[in-house]
Amino acid sequence: MKELNKEEFKSEVEDYVKVLFRKSIKEADDQQIFQAVAYAVKDFIVDQWMATHRTYEEKDVKTVYYLSMEFLMGRALGNIIINLKGNQAIKEAIEELGLNLDVIEDQEPDAALGNGGLGRLAACFLDSLSTLGYAAYGCGIRYKYGMFKQVIENGYQIEKPDDWLKYGNPFEIKRPEYAVEVKFGGYVSIKKDEETGRNKFVQENYQSVLAVPYDLPVVGYNNNVVNTLRIWDAEAIDTFNLDSFDKGDYQKAVEQQNLARTICEVLYPNDNHMAGKELRLKQQYFFVSASVQRAVMKYMEKHDDIRKIHEKVCFQLNDTHPTVAVAELMRILVDEYNIEWDEAWHITNKTCAYTNHTIMSEALEKWPLELFSRLLPRIYQIIEEINRRFVLDIQRAYPDDYGKVERMAIIYDGQVKMAHLAIAAGFSVNGVARLHTEILKNQELKDFYQMMPEKFNNKTNGITQRRFLLHGNPLLADFVTKKIGDDWITDLKHIDELSVYTDDEMSRKEFMNIKYQNKVRLAKYIKEHNGIEVNPRSIFDVQVKRLHEYKRQLLNILHVMYLYNELKKNPDKEFYPRTFIFGAKASAGYHRAKSIIKLINSVADVVNNDKSIDGKIKVVFIENYRVSNAEIIFAAADVSEQISTASKEASGTGNMKFMLNGAVTLGTMDGANVEIVEEVGKENAFIFGLSSDEVIAYEHNGQYNPRDIYNTDGDIRAVLTQLVDGTYSSNLDEFRDIYNSLLDGQGGRPDMYFILKDFRSYAEAQERVSAAYADTAKWAKMAMLNTAKCGKFSSDRTIEEYAQEIWHLEKVKVEVTT
Question: Could you say which residues in the range 277-296 bind ligand 26Q, by CB under 6 A?
Answer: 280
Q: Does 268 bind ligand 26Q (CB under 6 A)?
A: yes
Q: What's the angle, vertex CA 593, arms to CA 590 and CA 594, rounded to 5?
A: 85
Q: Catalytic annotation on 546?
A: yes
Site for ligand 26Q in 622-651 (CB under 6 A): 649-651
Tell me if residue 227 falls in helix, strand or coil.
strand
Taking CB atoms, the residue at the shortest distance from ligand 26Q is: 117
Question: Which is nearer to ligand 26Q, 324 or 334 (by Cβ)?
Answer: 324
Part of the chain binding ligand 26Q (CB under 6 A), chosen from 110-118, 174-182, 331-339, 593-601: 110-118
The alpha-carbon radius of gyration of the chain (Å, integer) is: 27
- For 396-431, give the DSSP string: HH-TT-THHHHHH-SEETTEEEHHHHHHHH-SEEEE
AA identity, residue 528 = E
Q: Which of 12, 172, 271, 796 binds ligand 26Q (CB under 6 A)?
A: 271
In the list 63, 83, 358, 507, the residue contacting ligand 26Q (rule: CB under 6 A) is 358
Using the rule CB under 6 A, is 510 a contact of ligand 26Q? no
d(CA 541, CA 741): 26
721 is catalytic: no
User: Catalytic residue at 813?
Assistant: no
Number of residues that bind ligand 26Q (CB under 6 A): 25
Q: How far is the CB of 470 from ligand 26Q (least distance, A)?
A: 22
Which residues from 451-470 bind ligand 26Q, rule CB under 6 A? 461
- Say how far apart CA 660 and CA 667 lie, in whole Å: 16
Identify the residue among 377, 583, 652, 706 touching ligand 26Q (CB under 6 A).
652
Q: Identify the active-site residue in 545, 559, 578, 626.
A: 545
Please say if 239 is a catalytic residue: no
**Type of residue numbered 148:** F
Residue 483 catalytic? Answer: no
The catalytic residue among 357, 508, 789, 792 is 357
DSSP string computed for 309-328: GGGTEEEEEESSTTTHHHHH
Alpha-carbon distance of 99 to 26, in angstroms, equals 10
In the complex, what is the shortest distance from the CB of residue 236 to ligand 26Q, in angstroms, rounded to a whole number?
25
DSSP codes, 586-627: PPTT-HHHHHHHHHHHHHHHHHHT-GGGTTSEEEEE-TT--H
- Smaller CB distance to ligand 26Q: residue 391 or 806? 806
Q: How far is the CB of 431 from ligand 26Q (least distance, A)?
A: 9
Nearest to 459 by CA among 439, 428, 426, 431: 431
Helix 278-302 with 247-263: angle, nearest 10 deg: 90
- Laid out side by side, the sheet with 539-544 consists of 617-621, 578-583, 539-544, 639-642, 664-667, 686-687
Distances (CA, A) of 192 to 5, 46, 189, 335, 381: 64, 49, 10, 12, 18
Q: Across the strands, what pairs with 456?
A: 429
Confirm or reject binding of residue 366 to ligand 26Q (CB under 6 A). no
Piece of 358-366, 389-397, 476-484, 716-724 that binds ligand 26Q (CB under 6 A) = 358-366
The DSSP annotation for 632-650 comes to HHHHH-SEEEE-PPTTT-S
Q: Residue 231 or residue 274: which is nearer to ligand 26Q going by CB?
A: 274
Closer by beta carbon to ligand 26Q, 501 or else 590:
590
What is the per-residue binding string for ligand 26Q in 429-448, x denoting contact by CB under 6 A? ---x----------------
Annotation says 573 is catalytic:
no
Distance CA 722, CA 253 (A): 59
Kindly name the residue from 331, 546, 559, 789 that is annotated as catalytic: 546
Selected catalytic residue, list 548, 657, 757, 781: 657
Residue from 19, 50, 275, 732 touching ligand 26Q (CB under 6 A): that is 275
Nearest distance from C-beta of residue 448 to ligand 26Q, angstroms: 19
Q: Which residues are catalytic?
A: 357, 545-546, 551, 653, 657
Tell me which residues touch ligand 26Q (CB under 6 A).
115-118, 121, 268, 270-272, 274-275, 280, 321, 357-358, 363, 365, 432, 461, 649-653, 671
